[in-house]
Structure 1
Amino acid sequence: MRWLTLAAIAALAVFLAGQRVVLAQQPTEIVSVLRPGPLPVTDPFDPAWDEAPAVDVPLGPQAMTIPSLLKLSVPTVRVRSLNNGDQIALLLEWADDTRDDLTVADQQFRDAAAIQFPVGQELPNICMGAAGQLVNIWHWKADWQRDIDQGFQELVNQYPNFFKDFYPGGVTGTPPFTYPTDFDRPEARQFQVGWAVGNPFSVPQRPSPVEDLKAIGFGSLTHKDRQEVGGRGVWRDGRWRVIFTRKLAAPDSESADLRRDQVPVAFAVWNGANQEVGARKQLSGFYTLRIQGQERILGLPRNLVGWLAAGFIGVLAVVVVTLRFLRRRAAAGI
């Protein structure tokens, strides 16, 4: 699958050259600034984000598989990152003239963004990994964000005259009924099959607008059993600002362990107004995310080395003081 990675990079380089973007002039490192204390994980406009250097990451259209993106709609995404030694947060920002956060009708498409990390040590295929190259993908969805901010969006949000007049049993309330509150009884769930079986796209109570996923190549994207990634997105003045956040430590074997000083990372953005969905997206190449506070010395975390060094110095000081005391006693003939 290495040829797919090389072909994707070559295609992206050719496209960017056509757009007069010089790859050599682009920074290849994103620094996650170490910031003690709580991180600004709920407000994309918190002034604390100004402490993190911004990197404009160029994007190119996905053209390796169908459905491909024929016309680029989002040329760059701006990335910042903060961490406090235990938790990390990334802020993605990009221009979008329209806020597309309703996907009730079949002709509607959401705005979205994603971050991809390799799970193992090997640099995977940029296109969602490959067999033996598991990747962890954090996927923020604008419609999930609206569900959280405004309540679950259903048919009446798109078609206000839609009317549900009768269900045979288990449903509470009166017509036209309210979803999901009037369907909370187990016997009522038989009419909401997706919700009943736990389909993440059908569950109305969303704890996070970010879906935590895994993949080993095209067509393998899978919802993870453990959902540990949080976030929040806000559209303002023609721009999206979206936060992704998680503990640095991997919660399971299918997640990226970010307790390293350098981690490969890639990005993707979808523009709903351009009917982008699935593989129809723009994406970046891999960048290096340098996480301050996770530097290693002789293979050990820097903070652990610091504690070991401090402990060694402390023990050495006790030994020196003890030896001096014993020598003085010996010299005094005690």
Structure 2
Amino acid sequence: MTSAFKYIYTIVTAFAFTAQLTGVAGADPLAELVKNGEIIPAHMTNGAPPTGPGDTAWGEAGFTDIQLYPQVSAKPASVPEKSEIKIKAIYNAGELAIYAQWSDDQPSLKHGIGKFPDSFAIEFPFSFGAGKRMPYIGMGDPGQPVAVILWKAGDKVETLEAVGFGSLTPMPIDGVKAKGVWRDGVWRVTVTLKLTGRD
């Protein structure tokens, strides 16, 4: 079950690594992060990327365990606790697929006032490479805006732009697909998007 603060907690902590994921193909600006084990390696395939959590193609990629931390930007702030999410990624010349897996005793599926469904969000910088800094982890900043893909239980997907915490605005992103499956106390969610070739 995911309460309101857990909903925010999941979104905010997801940003730390997915923004870095986009630079895997051009590793120079991220060499130190690779060395320190702070990014997620994406597995390259010549075939089509996986289309859902049950796709056998995911067996080609290994998991990276990511330690999460509580959000402190919005009330009620989370009580510190140890939590983690498992991530893997596969890409080809045109698409990137991301797989997320985390434990949850009871799924939260309802949308409404004061009710927040289980959610997973990933963030990508509009521009990143040699000589460019990483965006602020909390939804980017005015100097480094970010694109956000938000999946909600029930397979609702939103694509957004942000320039800082609380600045989310809708932004169309073509080719985004997401699917989530909860089974035996575990969420398994996949997000697939097109690679545009932008720096």
TM-score range, shorter chain: 0.7 to 0.9
Cross-structure match for 2:98: 90
Shift of 1:227: 4.7
Task: Map residues 29-108 of structure 1 onto 2, 5 A cutoff.
Answer: 29-41=39-51, 43-63=52-72, 65-72=73-80, 75-104=83-112, 106-108=113-115
2:103–2:186 contact (8 Å) kept in structure 1 = yes
Q: 2:134 and 2:61 mapped to 1: Cα distance?
A: 26
Letter in structure 2 aligned against 1:137: V
C-alpha offsets along residues 224-252 of structure 1, whole Å, 9 cap, x if unaligned?
Answer: 034532111110110101111111116xx
C-alpha offsets along residues 216-275 of structure 1, whole Å, 9 cap, x if unaligned?
Answer: 01221011034532111110110101111111116xxxxxx4xx7xxxxxxxxxxxxxxx
C-alpha offsets along residues 169-201 of structure 1, whole Å, 9 cap, x if unaligned?
Answer: xxxxxxxxxxxxxxxxxxxxxxxxxxxxxxxxx
Q: 2:82 and 2:122 mapped to 1: Cα distance?
A: 16
Gaps of 5+ in 1: 1-7, 13-25, 146-208, 251-256, 261-334
Give yes or no for the alignment of 1:139 onto 2:146.
no
Secondary structure of residue in 1 paired with 2:57: helix
Shift of 1:68: 4.6
TM score, norm. by length of structure 1: 0.45
Q: 1:93 and 1:138 mapped to 2: Cα distance?
A: 16
Give yes or no for the alignment of 1:123 onto 2:131.
no
1:111–1:141 contact (8 Å) kept in structure 2 = yes
Secondary structure of residue in 1 paired with 2:150: strand
More strand by share: 2
Q: 2:106 and 2:188 mapped to 1: Cα distance?
A: 13
Letter in structure 2 aligned against 1:31: P
Aligned CA distance change for structure 1 residues 91 and 132 (closer, same or farther; 3 Å): same
Partner residue of 2:121 out of 114, 122, 137: 114
Q: 1:244 and 1:75 mapped to 2: Cα distance?
A: 21
Gaps of 5+ in 2: 1-11, 17-35
Secondary structure of residue in 2 paired with 1:88: strand
Cross-structure match for 1:225: 172
Shift of 1:54: 0.4
1:32–1:52 contact (8 Å) kept in structure 2 = yes
RMSD across aligned positions (CA): 2.4
Shift of 1:136: 1.1
2:174–2:194 contact (8 Å) kept in structure 1 = no
Q: 1:138 and 1:40 mapped to 2: Cα distance?
A: 18
Aligned CA distance change for structure 1 residues 220 and 90 (closer, same or farther; 3 Å): same
**Percent identity, aligned pairs only?**
35
Aligned CA distance change for structure 1 residues 225 and 215 (closer, same or farther; 3 Å): same
Q: Detail structure 1 runs of 4+ shifted over 6 Å in the superposition.
A: none
C-alpha offsets along residues 41-85 of structure 1, whole Å, 9 cap, x if unaligned?
Answer: 1x202222121010000000111x222532257711100001121
1:88–1:247 contact (8 Å) kept in structure 2 = yes
Q: 2:82 and 2:196 mapped to 1: Cα distance?
A: 32
Aligned CA distance change for structure 1 residues 109 and 74 (closer, same or farther; 3 Å): farther
Secondary structure of residue in 2 paired with 1:61: coil
